[in-house]
């Protein structure tokens, strides 16, 4: 298990991490969420020793992370970058060798990952000759080519088209099934909800919400009710009910055990009820509540 425990880091007057803790379990996918500047990238860099925390520790299976352990981890930084003039097969094999694979193993692993990510036909192309999306796939291949026990991916889905997103999500799921602990950050919360079992939401360098996505949703005291009458959103004011307009959607905010039958009756009295949705908060709602923005 990857453990970040009570990490604190200041850069001059700026507090980047303020007692952040998280745990990433083998075989599970952890969504690492937070608004811009919350400290996600700093925390990820701490895992690889790229930033030294002022306080706290990073450990794998109970031990501090040394150079040998770090080689078993995979990292895809937020700021993408590879060698523009190097052929991609050479490039992926090079990073495999740097991670400790022997020459032949590295070449085989590079071919396998390029195939899996759908860029095998460009193996002999220079990186700069590839589209942005394909460059991103190569970047992921470099992070995963040595079959890491932990994959830390900073915004891996950013800039990908829907097919690329689907491919990458499948790859992450397969990796998790194979036992890798995956931590990734993203601002695409629907995608996170779809891919991740666990989330940690941070703000101002500290955790504000953490747990299994399904459990967090289920245990939330809030429920959202969305009603359509005759195919149109039903927006009538109901005494004693709060409502919220989010992304063009009108929803009523209720408690988990609220009695919704009277509301259904009210709506039915005005026409045919074509939609009546009473559900726990989505991850987006949880996120917004957690960071209070």
Partner 1 sequence: MSPIAQTFELARRDFTQRLKSRAFLLTMLFTVGIVLVIGPIIALAQGDDEARMIAMVGEQPAGSEQSIRLQSDLLEIDIAIERYGSLAAAEDALAAGDVAVVVNGTSELIFNEEPSLQLSAVISGGIANAERLIIADEMGLSGADLEELLFPVQFSERTIEPEETEEDDVKQVAALVGLMILYMSILIFGQFVMMGVMEEKQTRVVEVVLSRVRPTQVLIGKVLGVGLLGLVQIVALGGALIFTVTAADLADVDLTSIGIRFLGLLIIWYLLGYTFYSFVYGALGATISRQEDMQGAAMLPVLLIVPGFFFGQMALVDADMWIARLASFIPVWSPMVMAVRSTTGDVPLWEVLLAIVLIVLTTVVLVRLGGRIYRGAILKTGQRTKLSAAWRSAND
Q: Footprint of partner 1 on this chain (CB under 8 A)?
A: 11, 45, 48, 50-52, 67, 70-71, 73, 75-77, 79-86, 94-95, 97-100, 139, 142-143
Q: Are 51 and 45 in contact (CB under 8 A)?
A: yes
Residue placing its CB nearer to partner 1 in the complex, 53 or 281:
53
Residue placing its CB nearer to partner 1 in the complex, 139 or 147:
139
What's the min distance (Å) between Cβ of 66 and partner 1?
11
What's the min distance (Å) between Cβ of 160 and partner 1?
18
What's the min distance (Å) between Cβ of 7 and partner 1?
13
What's the min distance (Å) between Cβ of 86 and partner 1?
6
What's the min distance (Å) between Cβ of 196 and partner 1?
22
Going from the C-alpha of 80 to that of each of 125, 153, 242, the distances in angstroms are 18, 11, 44
Residue placing its CB nearer to partner 1 in the complex, 93 or 283:
93
Residue placing its CB nearer to partner 1 in the complex, 107 or 289:
107
Element (H, E) at 142: helix 132-144
Residue placing its CB nearer to partner 1 in the complex, 152 or 267:
152
Residue placing its CB nearer to partner 1 in the complex, 76 or 168:
76
One-letter-per-residue 3-state SS of the chain: CEEEEEEEEEECCEEEEEEEEEEECCCCEEEEECCCCCCHHHHHHHHCCCCCCCEEEEEECCEECCHHHHCCEEEECCCCCCCCCCEHHHHHHHHHHHCCCCHHHHHHHHHHHHHHCCCHHHCCCEHHHCCHHHHHHHHHHHHHCCCCCEEEEECCCCCCCHHHHHHHHHHHHHHHHCCCEEEEECCCHHHHHHHCCEEEEEECCEEEEEEEHHHHHHHCCEEEEEEEECCEECCCCCCCCEEEEECCEEEEEEECCCCCHHHHHHHHCCCCEEEEEEECCCHHHHHHHHHCC
Q: Are 221 and 33 in contact (CB under 8 A)?
A: no
What's the min distance (Å) between Cβ of 29 and partner 1?
20
What's the min distance (Å) between Cβ of 98 and partner 1?
5
What's the min distance (Å) between Cβ of 94 and partner 1?
6
Residue placing its CB nearer to partner 1 in the complex, 27 or 100:
100
Residue placing its CB nearer to partner 1 in the complex, 142 or 216:
142
């Amino acid at each position: 298990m990857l453990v970040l425990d009570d990490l604190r880091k200041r850069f001059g007057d700026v507090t980047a991490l303020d007692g952040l803790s998280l745990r990433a379990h083998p075989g599970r996918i952890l969504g690492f969420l937070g608004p811009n500047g919350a400290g996600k990238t700093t925390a990820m860099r701490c895992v690889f020793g790229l930033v030294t925390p002022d306080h706290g520790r990073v450990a794998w299976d109970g031990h501090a992370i040394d150079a040998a352990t770090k080689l078993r981890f995979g990292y895809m930084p937020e700021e993408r970058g590879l060698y523009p003039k190097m052929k991609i097969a050479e490039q992926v094999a090079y990073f495999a060798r740097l991670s400790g694979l022997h020459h032949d193993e590295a070449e085989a692993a590079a071919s396998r990952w390029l195939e899996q990510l759908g860029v095998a036909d460009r193996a002999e192309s220079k990186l700069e000759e590839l589209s942005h999306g394909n460059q991103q796939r190569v970047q992921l291949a470099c992070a995963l080519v040595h079959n890491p026990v932990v994959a830390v991916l900073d915004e891996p889905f950013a800039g990908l088209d829907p097919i690329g997103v689907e491919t990458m999500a499948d790859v992450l799921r397969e990796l998790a099934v194979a036992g890798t602990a995956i931590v990734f950050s993203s601002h695409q919360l629907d995608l996170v909800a779809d891919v991740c079992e666990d989330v940690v939401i941070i703000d101002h360098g500290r955790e504000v919400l953490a747990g299994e996505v399904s459990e967090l949703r289920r245990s939330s005291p809030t429920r959202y009710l969305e009603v359509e009458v005759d195919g149109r959103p039903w927006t009538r004011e109901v005494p004693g009910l709060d409502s919220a307009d989010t992304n063009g959607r009108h929803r009523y905010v209720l408690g988990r055990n609220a009695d919704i039958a009277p509301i259904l009756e009210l709506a039915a009295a005005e026409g045919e009820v074509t939609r009546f949705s009473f559900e726990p908060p989505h991850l987006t709602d949880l996120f917004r509540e957690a960071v209070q923005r």
